[in-house]
Chains A and B, each alone.
Chain A
Amino acid sequence: MKTNFDFDQVPETGWCPGCGNFAILKGLKEALDELNINPKNLVISAGIGQAAKISQYVNSNCFNGLHGRALPVATGIKASNPDLIVVGEGGDGDMYGEGGNHFIHAIRRNIDIVNIVHNNMVYGLTLGQASPTSRREFKTPLQVHGVASEPFNPIAVAISLGASFVARAFSGDMKQMKEILKKAVNNKGYSLVDIFHPCVSFNKINNFKWFKDNTYYLDENHDNTDRMEALKKAFETDRFPLGVIYTNGKNKTFEENLIAYKNDKRPLYKREVDQKKIEKLLASN
């Protein structure tokens, strides 16, 4: 199915055949299309990595910036024009490793963006080193004796910081992944969608079958507004829960709190400067 987010000519991608990123790209374009989002109103702010290349393959606005820095850029964009729909996207190394500090503070700010993290538990672009979410004992050309550190738990971190929306999806289930992405886009406030997907070249352990066997969907009995309940789910690692794990609609968004929009709702680019007023400010000294 061709969406409004497809190019006339399909761009050549930098991904390996069978890469989970293809499914995420398809799911994202379709989810946005089904929500009737105008591509002109969307910006994808991406970092660097195999996952972040997605910004090159969506026919829309993009800022393909530095490794780890997609969220500060996304924050600057949303705060300057709150009418834009802003997606901050990248891989597990990009968002949780290089950009870890920004991940924490983007959640705290509750900026109204969708933070999509392609989580394959390995570094692809740099050819196979451990990522912050790699499981213990995972062997790589660099972690030759196996990963010794505790895996980063983005879901638990996001919930503990009071994130507005925390979900996990699996690229192997297009239908559910799209539904989760749509809910994230519709949520007002910071939304994390951590998407498990296989890396066919560098992660032979956490492959398609492994993700299938080691995940399950939360059912309707899960109260995703209960923070402690959600946190319990976040710590389940024998089988990882999928779906919307936590929502918190209570907090105002970053943009709503900005004093710059108190008296003027227009985006910053539409505003003019009254030099006489500044002259008076100086004269009052």
Chain B
Amino acid sequence: MKNDISIVLSGEAGQGIRTVELLLMRTLKNSGYNVFSTTELMSRVRGGNNTTEIRVSNKRIEAFIDRIDILIVLSKNAIYRIENRLSKDTIIIGQDSFIEEIYKNDQYRIMDVAISSLAKEVGNLIYSNVITYGILTGIFDIDINLIKEYIINQFSTKGKEITDNNIIAVIKGYEKGKELKLGIQVETDDKIKNQVLLSGTESIGIGALAGGCNFITAYPMSPSTGVIQFLATHSEEYGVVVEQAEDEISAINMIQGAWYAGARAMTTTSGGGFALMEEGISNAAIAEVPIVIHLAQRPGPSTGLPTKTEQADLNLALYAGHGEFPRIIFAPGNFTDGIYLTQKAFNLADKFQVPVIILTDQFYIDSFQSINSIDFTDFKVEHYITRTDKDYERYKITKDGISPRGIPMYGDGFVRFDSHEHDEEGFITEDPDMRTKIVDKRFRKLESYSKDSIDAEIIGSKNYKTLIVGWGSTYGVIKEVIEKLDDNNLAFAYFKQVYPLPNNTEEILSKAKKLVIIENNATSQFGQLIKRCTGMEFQMQILKYNGMPFSLEEIIEKLKGLK
């Protein structure tokens, strides 16, 4: 096996697969390997079957692939859900008793490693996950001293006995892993050691801090909750007000009170929670309260598939709220953009006084990858708060539509926000002329946005004839498809700003002879948006809505239909 290895850990919820994933990702990254991992969960706290795919490569990889090179079986019933991803080359490592009889034939390369027995030798089944980590590091022939160091870091807070036992466990696994002699060769690159490893959740959390976020409230909902938990973890050091709201309606209104009083506030939710926030978003629009919302999509409608992935809430974000008003929607596809766009979201919300929505999804949020370190001196927290004077008017009609935003106790004026249609001072009005003027004023705000607007990025051939359009979390897989096919006629337009459509949309689309849209939803919501705004149509749609992210292989297969 060489240069591109896919490892899948398959077991039950509650078995500590995440611990193995994190330890192994860190170890491999710090040894100079490109790594990427993604988790697919059943909606269970215990039992069921969860799988985590870890890819190790000599090139940058950020995508899910179907192929499994090494399958680690950690429980019974761990194979049937991924059976169609196995081939005769797949090495299945696991305890004999966990591998069902139907797989014990010459179609599969099974290596019996009695992980449970080894764990019992150490003293408890709980050591199974560290033994698994040991096996995998043995397979990659990592320096054993480095591994011991990680174990000490991981468990030192739990006391000497537990740490010592984990060291015994990891060595047992490590020796087993080496004995398997899998002959894995992946080129390493020392530069990767300096990269930082993070999850999608952390990219949004760090971006928020860099955007000056100092207030977050949310009602827990998978897969969005990690963001508020991340900020809670760092709340003391960064002075962040963190509150679990009684419901999403409270959350969306609380952040408006916070911005009103001068905070930089956000909420994080998933589709169902976002739906509850719609009235509040509409309120932010008319009262011109800046707000930042992170919407981590999962498949709906309703409860849908709570732990799976989908990109089907673009329309929800695009049309959320009664009445008509401008908004900005970002959809980062990689973690560098996740940090950058979330940081920017706060500045833009403050500058234009509009809702800014960051769209991610379960695949993005629960994945891990390493990125080059970022120079944070490029990030500025831009404040647009005005000191009020005695005659301050909150909704002053200006040329660019942006009325200077005051906050209470800063200056001599009163700050009056209103959900009714209002006059320039913020008093209720039903005057038809004033209504028209104020509506026009609100819409003018985004006319000057084009200077801040973020272009779609072209990846692949500059002389493309066929252009694949994707947005958000499909970035990694489409990029890898482009690299793999290495076709001079093919390029990928990656949209990280999905609304307003970027300035270069028409230009890049009109250069192509054929347009292909790839979306993780059933109705091609972004394709329809492009059609509505530009009149351009896609000759091919590649859509997926079974709860899983796209794999590299399936896009390559589908693209064959193009010729």
Contact = CB atoms under 8 A, between A and B. Distances in A.
B241 A77 contact: no
Nearest to B408: A61
Interface residues of B, number: 68
Contacts of A278: 206, 209-210, 238, 376, 379
Interface string A26-68: 0000000000000111010100100000001001111111100
Nearest to B243: A79
Interface stretch (A141-149, A156-164, A229-237, A262-270): A262-270
Interface string B206-218: 1001101011010
Interface in B187-202: 196-198, 202
A276 B217 CA distance: 25
A268 B409 CA distance: 12
B258 interface: yes
A137 interface: no
B268 to A, nearest CB: 15
Contacts of A127: none
A84 B409 contact: yes
A69 B253 contact: yes
Interface string B357-394: 00000000000000001111101010001000000000
- Main SS of the interface on chain B? mixed
Given A76-B258, A273-B209, A278-B206, A102 B214 contact: no
B210 A72 contact: no
> What's the interface size class on A, roughly?
35 or more
A268 B253 contact: no
B257 A74 contact: yes
Q: Max chain A CB contacts within 10 Å: which of B202, B240, B260, B280?
A: B260
A221 interface: no
Contacts of A56: 418, 427-428
A267 B239 CA distance: 10
B235 interface: yes
Given A11-B427, A64-B420, A66-B253, A268 B214 contact: yes
A145 B51 CA distance: 59
Given A40-B408, A73-B257, A79-B241, A285 B197 contact: yes
Nearest to B234: A281
Contacts of B339: 282
B287 A285 contact: no
B245 interface: yes
A279 B257 contact: no
B376 A275 contact: yes
A10 interface: no
B545 interface: no
Given A66-B283, A72-B254, A260-B235, A101 B247 contact: yes
Contacts of A40: 408-409, 412, 414
Contacts, number: 205
B256 A73 contact: yes
A150 interface: no
By secondary structure, the A interface counts as helix
Contacts of A276: 376-377
A179 interface: no
B155 interface: no
Contacts of B280: 66, 69
A100 B154 CA distance: 45
A76 B254 contact: yes
Interface string B250-275: 11011111111111110000000000
Nearest to B373: A283
A73 B418 contact: no
Nearest to A275: B376
Given A65-B283, A69-B249, A275-B377, A60 B414 contact: yes
Given A40-B412, A84-B261, A272-B381, A76 B256 contact: yes
A282 B263 contact: no
Contacts of B246: 101-102, 104-105
A272 B264 CA distance: 11
A1 interface: no
A75 B262 contact: no
Interface in A63-96: 63-66, 69, 72-81, 83-84
29 contacts: A40-B414, A56-B418, A56-B427, A64-B416, A65-B287, A66-B419, A69-B249, A74-B257, A75-B257, A76-B255, A76-B261, A77-B258, A77-B260, A79-B254, A79-B257, A80-B215, A80-B262, A80-B265, A83-B409, A101-B246, A102-B246, A258-B241, A260-B240, A268-B241, A273-B209, A276-B377, A279-B374, A279-B376, A283-B373
Rank and list the top 6 A-B pairs by shortest CB-CB distance, nearest first. Answer: A76-B257, A269-B262, A72-B253, A73-B257, A279-B376, A76-B258
Given A268-B258, A271-B214, 17 more contacts: A40-B414, A64-B418, A72-B249, A78-B261, A79-B263, A80-B263, A81-B261, A81-B407, A101-B246, A101-B247, A260-B241, A268-B262, A269-B263, A269-B410, A270-B262, A273-B209, A285-B197
